[in-house]
Every structure is written in structure tokens, then in C-alpha cells.
Amino acid sequence: MSDAEVLLMVDDRPSSFTRYAARELAGRLVLLRFADARPDLPEDYLRETAHLPAFRVREGASPAEEARRYRDWAAGLPTPPTRFCNPSEPRQAVAQRFAELAGLPHLTGRQVALVRDKAVMKSRFRELGLRTAEFARVRSGAEIERFAGRHGWPVVLKPVDSFACLDTYRLDDPGGLAGIDLGARDWMVEAYLGGTEWEACAIVLDGEVLDVWPSAMPCRPLDIVDGAMNANISVGTGEGPPVDLRALVQRIVTGMGIDHGYAHMEFFLIDGEVYAGEIGIRLAGCEIPANHGHAYGFDVFGATLAVYLGRRPDLDYRERRCAGDLLLPLPGTGLVRRITSRDELLGMPGVIDAVLKVGADDTVTARRASHNASGYAHVVGASIGEVESRMREVLARFTIEVVAREAHTAPT
């Protein structure tokens, strides 16, 4: 493919990847924004990307009409986009449908279901010969209790289209159902798996998995949303799981007919056996992709953009170490009174980069989600154990004080 091809990219929140693309693809990048995403696009980010053409999909308008309006608009650009990238998990269905109507490469409706509806996804895993946790769609507490009667407590309850552990719960008994509205969404329940949970990221071109990068998780996502350390560690050394990861991801990619893109997978290793968890065809959340770049010493975002532009990337690894992203706590909702500075973080052992998303006097809102954080630090080391130890030292030294607005404004 020619280097001159232009990419249309969904842009509904600032991220390291979208910021990289905005810097590196000037003249070859067009942004696709949705009207309801503006609250997630802060003014500084809008200024940062103001040099790029951006098409905004109107809220409430028909997809066909918006695609027609886009085609007319894109025809006036120096070079209209011929490639498409959607890094947004919750917008998969609407974004891929838009790309289809706009005549761009896209996931089909069936493929969107395979990577978004977790019950459909796990059924496909089983058709491909992979083990999964026992699971079932459910609509009531009684159905959940019957499932637990067959497979035992605890169980995991989640919406079929959840991500980042939003509205995902470990239920240890029927009492855990209190306060959960099962009528608002489509839900499923799974047997709780033991063993070790791993992640794997891959890039795909022309249906071929070019490489896979494993990540260790010091704590499970379901424990993270309840307060455990929030971190992922890319394993560039030989400490990864004893699994042929490329063959594993290739089986799924082939079985789902995925032509190109970034794949992010979670799986469990139990007594030497792999149990497939979930897969997404979009960049991994938090700073996991950046971890791979730090662990292997290569341009991970450039490689990702290459496959979305239809080009084979240069996977020239110059490093072999472990590198992780430690999400810094955001302990509550209210006003930030004080927080450890970036310079202090950079002075801690193994910390090579740090980003604070909030500062003193900012108003913050904590959420029960695996990406809830006040910022992050990239931590490197020679082994998983060394990185985890350094992360725990960072947490021990990091401070953030959040007070309720009422407490801050109350008269003295």
C-alpha cells in the first residue's frame, strides 16, 4: 500500500494512541467524531488536534444520511480516506456500520457481534475448539441462582457488551444480587475461574498474526475495581506463559475472519490448560500498548498505524525487559487538595514516565471501572517480580487527598 493513503480514525477520547496519530499522520489522518463524545474531548485536546480535518456525526441522524454527508465532505479533501481505524470499544457497532456505509474497510455486523457480545464470542471460541468458563445468558436472579446451583459459587455477572469491568460483579452468594438492575441490559453469567489470568496483544495484517506480546497482571481486573493494585506488565523476557500465543490468537483471528488490526485478548491458565476469556479488535485499554513499546524497544503505535494503513510494520525490537503501567489511585469524588508531583514520581526506582490527569484544586469523579485513575506511571525492570515490587513502592510513596465538595466549602 502507498504511504500516501489516508486514515479515517474514530476519535471519542484522548489517548496516547490518538495523540501519537495526530502528531505523526498530519496530512494523512482524518478524525471521525460523534456529537455525544464532546464531553470526553477537553479543550486542550481539541486545540492539539485542530490542524486535522474532522467530521462530526450528528446525534440522532440516520447512519445512511450521515455516511452520505461524510462522502460529500470527504470528496472535498486533498486525499479522501481509504482506510479506517476504530480504537473505541463501546462504539464498535456504530463505527463499523458507518465505515461500511462510507465504503471503507470495516468489521461486518457478524464480526462486531463476535467481538462485542461476550456470549456470542464465547460460543465461537468453543466452536474453534477452545475451552471457556461455563456461561449462560440470564434475565433474572432466579436464573443466576440456577446457574450457580449447577456450576457453584462464586459466579461472574456482566452485561454481554461490558468493557473495563463496568457493571461487572463477582457474586459469592445470592445476596450479591441486591441493587443490580437486571432489566436494563442484556446480561450473562460465568463460572468463576481460578488459575492465572494473562493478557495478550497482537497485530494482524492480511489475516496473519504478525506477533503477540503477553502481559502479566499482578491483580485481576475484578479485584482492581474493588481497590487492588491496577497494573499490567508487558513481558519482553522469557517469563511469559508457556503457551504458543501466536497460534492461539491466529486460531481466533482466522475463525472470526479478521483481516487486520490490533487484537487484545485475555485468557486463563489453569493446570497448564488455556481457557479463552475475551477478545477485542481494537487497542488495549489503559497504557498497555505503550508498555509493549517500552518492553521491546520499538514504535508500537507506529506499527499499529501501519497495519491499519495496510502496510507491514517494522518489528525491530531493540530491548528485552519487563515494562508496566501502574494506574495511580483516584480514591473518591470531590476536590483534589494535594497529589504527588510528576517530578517526584520520576525520581522513584524504575519509573521512566509519568502522567498526572488531575492536579490540586481539580474536581474529580471516581468510577467503579478498571481504568479509574488519577494518572499513571510506566515502570521498568529486569523481571515481572522487579517491576511489581517497584510498582508497590510507587504506591506506598504516592499520595492524593480528595475531599468532598461539601467538606471543602463548609464554613469554619
pLDDT digits (tens, 9 = 90+) for 290-338: 999 999 999 999 999 999 999 999 999 999 999 999 999 998 899 999 9
Of 74-78, 346-350, 406-410, least confident by mean pLDDT is 406-410
CATH of 196-405, one of 1.25.40.10, 3.30.470.20, 3.30.1130.10, 3.40.640.10: 3.30.470.20
CATH 3.40.50 fits 7-106, yes or no: yes
* Superfamily of structural domain 134-191: ATP-grasp fold, A domain (3.30.1490.20)
The stretch 33-62 carries a mean pLDDT of 87
DSSP string, 287-336: THHHHHHHHHTS-HHHHHHHHHTT-----------EEEEEEEP---SEEE
pLDDT digits (tens, 9 = 90+) for 269-298: 999 999 999 999 999 988 999 999 999 999
pLDDT for res 38? 53
Does the bond joining 154 to the residue before it have cis omega, within 30 degrees of 0? Answer: yes
Q: Where are the domains of the chain?
A: 7-106, 134-191, 196-405
C-alpha cell at 291: 508498555
Q: How confident is the model at residue 26 (pLDDT cuts 50, 70, 90)?
A: confident
Tell me the C-alpha distance between 177 and 170, whole Å. Answer: 10
pLDDT for res 36? 74
Amino acid (1-letter code) at residue 188: M
Strand, coil or helix: 25: coil
C-alpha cell at 31: 478524525
The stretch 342-363 carries a mean pLDDT of 96
pLDDT digits (tens, 9 = 90+) for 177-187: 998 989 878 99
Tell me the β-bridge partners of 263. Answer: 202, 281
Q: What is the mean pLDDT of the chain?
A: 93
Q: Which run of H or of E encompasses 224? A: helix 221-224
pTM for the whole thing?
A: 0.93
Tell me the C-alpha distance between 405 and 225, whole Å. Answer: 23
